[in-house]
Amino acid sequence: MEYTLSTIINFTVILNLLVMGLFLLLRNKNSITNIVLGLIFLLPIFNYVFNLAILQKNSNMLPTAFVLSHLSFVLPFLSYIYTNYFIGKKLRFKSAKHILFYLSVCYLIYFLFLFYLNDDKAKFIYNLKNGNFTLSFVILNFIFLGNNIYYALLNISQINKAKKYLKANIDQNKIHFILIFNYALLSLTLISVFSYLILPPFIAEFIIMPILMIIIFFIVLFSARNCESLFTRMQLATFIKESKIVKEGKTIITEKIYDYKLPIEKINNEIKDNIFLDNSLTLTSFSVKIAVKPYLLSQIFKSHYKTNFYDFINKKRIGYSIGLLKEIEKNKLSIEGVGLSSGFNSRVSYYRNFKKSQGVTPKEFIKSLKV
């Protein structure tokens, strides 16, 4: 019964990771961030294929599955690449901060070479799974766990530093998501350690870890969609460009508020013309529209309007949508239609911003009108 349950669980995890990974890899006009995230979802599949080979006692498949399962070694490094794309940092592969990873890859190659020299590979694997660990295998696992924890903490540290120049200007939902992503990976690592320490190896390896993996990855994918962080190539380019503009412009801006009179007039005129109804509106596109440099535009919103660009635009959209909601029956629009007509990209985005602004959902707001 235990073996049947674990087989079903591991097979289900493989299917789910495959679907989620392909969903990310095969999106239209895909961005590099989605591709990297897709690889992060797909690589653990080899671990669970290896688990199935163990459970089914498939000696022919075991050696290959065992070798492929170690592709997970690159997951921490992929998480570093993914995080750096999000915060607009240049990737530095020659940095000293990656020495541990490069040394661990060398040790992995050494370990797999020892495995290749083993005459009875299937017996060697079964001995490992029965708790007869070799010193090289123990060292390898400690290195893997160390890499996971190190890169998760490094990524979180880099995000918190980046927030100093991103906070007031860039869409905070996306920064919130990348923090969730790294905390999720860190939690996965720490919980796995405790699972192996307090539970029987079979339960931890073949039941708890697969279930935990799929829960964590569902949370990551749901958060990515909810925070609108599954970019197209164009959206990613805009996001990174705006991040860099803010970072580079943060120490340049010294103009006083009265110098902003003409730009403020341009902004107010565009708002009167309902420019916020354009759901593709960004800080960069708006700056081009009114012929004001993006970093200066960002400073104007911060100094004059006491908010950032995206919060200001979303506030205007919410105000516009409230007018539509009050006449929703007359307009013959759905709630989702109201959100889209007000400049939001999706129902999720509209609901989230509406509740943040009004304290209730659009549906609850309509009900309150009828009371």
Confirm whether 221 is domain-assigned.
yes
| 265 and 174 assigned to the same domain | no
SS3 track for 251-284: CCCCCCHHHHHHHHHHHHHHHHCCHHHCCCCCHH
Rounded average pLDDT over 29-38: 86
pLDDT digits (tens, 9 = 90+) for 35-50: 999 999 999 999 999 9
| 38 and 129 assigned to the same domain | yes
pLDDT digits (tens, 9 = 90+) for 209-236: 899 988 998 888 888 877 767 766 666 6
pLDDT for position 225: 77
pLDDT digits (tens, 9 = 90+) for 251-305: 333 344 445 677 888 888 888 899 999 988 888 888 888 888 777 787 788 878 8
| 149 and 296 assigned to the same domain | no
pLDDT for position 160: 84
Query: Is the pLDDT confidence value at 339 over 60?
Result: yes
Rounded average pLDDT over 16-34: 87
Query: Is the pLDDT confidence value at 247 over 80?
Result: no
Confirm whether 243 is domain-assigned.
no
pLDDT digits (tens, 9 = 90+) for 129-183: 776 777 888 888 888 889 999 999 999 998 887 776 555 445 567 778 888 999 9
pLDDT for position 76: 93
Rounded average pLDDT over 190-215: 87
| 196 and 322 assigned to the same domain | no
Confirm whether 240 is domain-assigned.
no
Q: Which is more confident, 170 or 241?
A: 241
Confirm whether 76 is domain-assigned.
yes
| 222 and 303 assigned to the same domain | no
Domain span at residue 334 reads 252-370
Q: How far apart are CA 210 and CA 9, in angstroms?
A: 7
Q: How many domains does the chain have?
A: 2
| 93 and 229 assigned to the same domain | yes
pTM of the model: 0.68
pLDDT for position 79: 94
pLDDT for position 164: 64
Burial 303-323 (b: 16+ CB within 10 A, else e): eeeeebbbbbbbbbbbebbbe
- Average pLDDT in the chain: 83
Tell which of 205, 234, 263 closes a domain: 234
Q: What is the largest CA-CA distance in the chain?
A: 80
| 202 and 79 assigned to the same domain | yes
| 268 and 187 assigned to the same domain | no
For 19-28, 30-39, 129-138, 327-336, which range has the lowest pLDDT when averaged over its residues? Answer: 129-138
Confirm whether 245 is domain-assigned.
no
Q: Which is more confident, 235 or 121?
A: 121
pLDDT for position 169: 47
Tell which of 174, 201, 234 closes a domain: 234
Smallest Cα–Cα separation from 108: which of 66, 78, 79, 149? 66
**Does residue 191 contact residue 212 with C-beta atoms inside 8 Å?**
yes
Confirm whether 246 is domain-assigned.
no
pLDDT for position 127: 77
CATH number for the domain spanning 260: value is 1.10.10.60
Confirm whether 317 is domain-assigned.
yes
Confirm whether 242 is domain-assigned.
no
| 218 and 283 assigned to the same domain | no
> What size, in residues, is the chain?
371
Looking at residue 104, its amino acid is S
pLDDT for position 93: 83
| 318 and 225 assigned to the same domain | no
For 21-25, 47-51, 246-250, 335-339, which range has the lowest pLDDT when averaged over its residues? Answer: 246-250
